[in-house]
Copies of this chain bind each other. A is one copy, B any other.
Amino acid sequence: MGKVGEGGFVFSQSNGGDAQEVAEAAARTLRRKVVPELVSERALISFPVEAMTKFLVGRDLERQREICQLVESDETFSNADRPFLSREQNYVRALQKAAKLVEWKIQHKWSEDDMLMAMKATGDSLPLFLHEALFIPTLKTQMSDEQLKKWLPLAWNCEIFGCYAQTELGHGSNLRKLETTATFIPESDEFELNTPTLTSKKWWPGALGQSSNFAAVYARLILHGRDYGVHPFLVQIRDRLTHQPMPGCEIGNIGKKIGFDNIDNGFLGLSKVRIPRDQLMMRNIQVSPKGEFQHGKHGKLGYATMIKIRAIIVRNGGWSLAQALTCAVRYSLVRTQGGETLPSQGGREVKILDHAMQRFRLTTSMALAYASIMSGIVMMDLYHRNLSNTLKGDVALLAETHATSSGLKALCSDLTLHAIEDTRRACGGVGYNWASGICELYTTFLQDVTVEGENTILHLQTARWLLKSILAAQKSGKLDNVPSGLVPYLKDPSFTSHQKSALLTGRPVSAQTLIDAYWHREARLLQEMLDRIRQHYPSGFSEQVVADHMVDLVELSRAHCEGILVRNFEDAIHAYEQGAPAHKGVVTVLRMLQELHGLHRLLERVGDFVLDGYLSPAQATWCKERRQELVDALRYDLIGLVDAFDFSDNQLNSAIGRFDGRVYESQYEWAKYGMTLVAKGKDGGVLGHDEVLQHVFTQGRKINASKL
């Protein structure tokens, strides 16, 4: 194996004699310097890139770089071979990386956050993530202190490996209908776990297929014949030495997915599996030896965890898009195509970034990447404030934070995924090749529209909360729990009908003007819905309203969350300006991105804003012109904006996204290296020829000889 070096592609596994040779030749080629196209572009950046990186990553930057450097110093973590390995080989490679990280975690006494950074630094998806970021936090938030004392060290030092087993074959988002049972057996002080039907088998848990020997199993708690709802139990599912399934456990892998295929998502059937009573996780509820049920006091902490995970998805959306843009922007500054007949070109083809459509696509997506990262920062902050409040027993922020995190997860995963895919396509042919680095990124991130609450369901949660809090405020007259921007509309319901935007044509569009526009649209949609409830539902808001108006309610939640995205961007810039030292160049470019983002979102749904005359045709036209001005003004900062994301070449694992811009050499080396890993035909010839094609050719020759 070679070392993970500056080139990014390092050639680690070999199954043929020539792999080493190819690897060395490749390394020589790739160690060359940055291409002149990128050197000259980088000379034009208007802001200090390092200051932008500091702003984006925050106080973790130094630690993150330290860990990243450690990871990149070890050949285990080379990603070069991944695109050419089978699903099973990749799984084993991911475990090798995991093993090394666990070793370091113990050796260097890493914190939970350090471990998360290290996993991120690998640029790979590891089954270990499920153990570290889902199983261990579940123990921490669900187990009593006593239980933790016993189990946490086992999990922390990876003596046991766990997964989170909730979803069933027939039951996803509707947890109330989970079928797995845990029946208390007072005689032996045990629970008996069963998945009594086909549809009750646990289905999907990551790291269940092969990796885990323990699982946090969510099951209906049955005490003396009464159903106390769904709670988590710690269940041993494989022998700790042989790793074979425990008696009564049927375990399997659910097979290939569209992405995330290093991860062994699995299924689990349970038949009369007994566990001691104290493996019911008892932080939030307790069951006595007599089978008596008791509520705990930290019932709301589960919500805090959910909020955190959603904030992470919002942030990850931004960073995944950032990664895709890093590949596409660098490529678009080296790749040339067409335009050679333009007078200015003198027969040379144009850098594809200088095609207006390419620039438009990548720059509007850039604005979204920054907006999502900003929202991630603001949301994570809100999570921390909310968590410390909840621990003090103050849950005032909880409902809004939870509702916001739901809709924002749905909106951001949707928007960023769409932009990642558009970015992939903007790379043309190579975008379809794994060598682009964007294929795996896209297919992995595709899960985020479905996991942790399917997006439609989440939008409906946000819409429910919004309607309920408005209706409650109207009834009580107390407006404290209503989003601030809606207060004027609540005070005067006719407000929307005659309100006009203050937007001035020919001028930059201020953050406040944009924020006002989003509030106006939201208020109008809200009032339409309230009118319908008033007219058609005499008993007021109910689930029937949701059932009848799902499409409109999803629109309402989207509108609400688009407003949040715009305001969070403003809040993040404001906070940066307040803190010292803020770089003026950084603020300037952030403000441009913010304005571009607000305008682009608005123009994507411009009908919403012009339909009731809030925006005039002239104002809408100006929004479009101004958007184009901003896209053009950001042209020479795009390379700086992607460099600021600070991805290493090994994380990108892209032939076209490398820092040095050697996009053609590296595609060629990539393909040649891949060939050394690919199987030969059965007689040592070309794969497929030995097995099949030679017979086809022989048959063809015979037929033609007899005919011709």
Contact = CB atoms under 8 A, between A and B. Distances in A.
Interface of A: 83-84, 86-88, 91-92, 95-96, 98-99, 102-103, 106, 153-154, 157-161, 167, 169-174, 176-177, 198-199, 201, 203-204, 210-211, 213, 238, 240, 242-244, 252-259, 264, 267, 335, 337-343, 349, 355-358, 360, 424-425, 428-429, 431-435, 439, 442-443, 446-447, 449-450, 454-457, 543-544, 547-551, 554, 605-612, 617, 620, 628, 664-665, 667-668, 670-672, 674-675, 678-679, 685-689, 691-697, 699-701, 703-704, 707-708
B692 A99 contact: yes
A554 B203 CA distance: 44
Highest count of chain B CB atoms <10 Å: which of A171, A255, A668? A255
The 5 closest A-B pairs by CB, nearest first: A159-B700, A607-B607, A606-B607, A356-B550, A258-B439
Contact of A337 (B174, B213, B431, B701): B174
Contacts of A551: 356-357, 360, 628
Given A355-B550, A607-B620, A700-B160, A450 B435 contact: no
Given A158-B700, A356-B551, A551-B628, 13 more contacts: A84-B255, A92-B691, A153-B704, A169-B664, A173-B338, A173-B428, A210-B689, A253-B671, A259-B432, A338-B457, A339-B543, A343-B544, A357-B550
B704 A243 contact: no
B620 A83 contact: no
Give this chain's copy count: 2
B678 A544 contact: no
Nearest to A337: B174
A455 B258 CA distance: 24
Contacts of A685: 242-244
A435 B700 contact: no
A86 B83 contact: no
Given A88-B687, A434-B256, A543-B342, A211 B450 contact: no
Contact of A159 (B102, B455, B697): B697
A159 B701 contact: yes
Contact of A204 (B84, B340, B429): B429
8 contacts: A172-B337, A174-B338, A243-B686, A244-B686, A256-B674, A342-B543, A355-B550, A360-B550
Nearest to A338: B174
A206 to B, nearest CB: 12
A52 to B, nearest CB: 27
B694 A349 contact: no
Nearest to A698: B159
Contacts of A252: 671-672, 675
B703 A157 contact: yes
A251 B450 CA distance: 41
A211 B688 contact: yes
Contacts of A341: 543
Contacts of A154: 700, 704
Contacts of A620: 607, 611
A311 B457 CA distance: 38
A307 B160 CA distance: 61
B177 A671 contact: no
A190 to B, nearest CB: 24
Contacts of A86: 86-87
A267 B435 CA distance: 14
A432 B447 contact: yes
Nearest to A446: B432
